[in-house]
Structure 1
Amino acid sequence: MALAFILWGVIAPTNFGTVTQAVFEWVVSNLGWFYLLAGNFLLVFVIILALSRYGKFRLGKEGEQREFSTFAWFAMMFQAGMGPSLIFWGVAEPLSHYSAPPFGMASPNTTEAAQVAMQYSYFHWTLHPWAMYAVVGLAVGYFSFRRDEPGLISPVFRPLLVFFLVMGPTAVQLGALTQGVGDYFGGLIPMSMRIESFDQDNA
């Protein structure tokens, strides 16, 4: 899939730019509310997780001692997560929103534009992105250090994939089995409402 996108961008860059820009604008216009709610939800979730008994859970194996201090871990995460970007975007982003407020939320170069610019900058660079990073990092770290999986995002979704691969076909097979048994015994065994409605629609 990644190779297909790369080839698309190389072969038809204008079309690629037009389509991706249209998709981006649609996502922002229609799913922006979900992004904001997800950021707030993840922030609350991470705070609750840190204050609960799971906050003392170690990602390493049982009996292992941590290699770095808490301060060293924080410094490395800050540097890797936003250190270089913050140097540039910490100034460039609020100035950009001040001169061109997003979605016409204010007139450019006004007090309202400055407020909007700082609101967006705070959302992008304070606790909310850290919460998003933490959820993904904890999931990958757990499977990597506790389950000896590679440091990829795919092992995180493997249990969900197994669940859907098992439950989906199982539900379909149970429905078909119920239908067959019900027909075989002449309706003595009641069928599910879903199968009955399917029969009525196709009668």
Structure 2
Amino acid sequence: MNAMVGIVNTPSSRLLRAVVYGHFAALVGGLVSFLASLPGYNVSVLAIAVGWMVGTAVATGSYRHGGWFYRTLAVGLTYLAVGASLAPALYVEMQTPRPGIDLYVHGDNQALEHAFKGQGRVPAPPMLSMSEEDRRTDSVVAALVLPCFAVPIDSFRRPLSGLAYVTALFVAAFRSRRGVLESARSRSASPAGQ
């Protein structure tokens, strides 16, 4: 039995197991967080649960080995899971026309002045004509870039959500730490002469 544990508990097997367990927990946590936010509610508190899940999964996969690499892995996976769950809503919000801002960006100063003076109704912003290839490229870039920036953008807009995200990252790092209790128990159980 001990020979089997020695083979399974190599550094590379711990690393692989921690990566697989952590990715699975991040995927499940991000999906649950995304599905819970679909009705339009702010579910940033679920990020703490995602951090707990990912940190626990990384710690379980590494047999509570801990260390800076496993903590970084847990924090990074939590960050990406939370960012990926926020990215679709942020993308839709970025694509929603904003009459005053879009008029300013497109340089229609006369329509902008009329809109802010209350004269007439606000004209619809000009639609950008994009080819199918440009739309596809825009979607791919948004899918790769937005998860990285969704957490800080949402944190600036909603500071309490930002506090929940920081707490989630702390929880992920804390849960993936080295198992202090297990090593203390093993030292106290060993004979004093060894």
Q: TM-score range by the shorter chain?
A: under 0.3
Give the number of the structure with larger relative contact order, counting CA–CA contacts within 8 Å between residues 6 or more apart. 2
Give the TM-score, by structure 2 length.
0.28
TM-score for the superposition, normalised by structure 1: 0.27
- Considering only CA atoms, is the larger Rg found in Structure 1 or Structure 2? 1
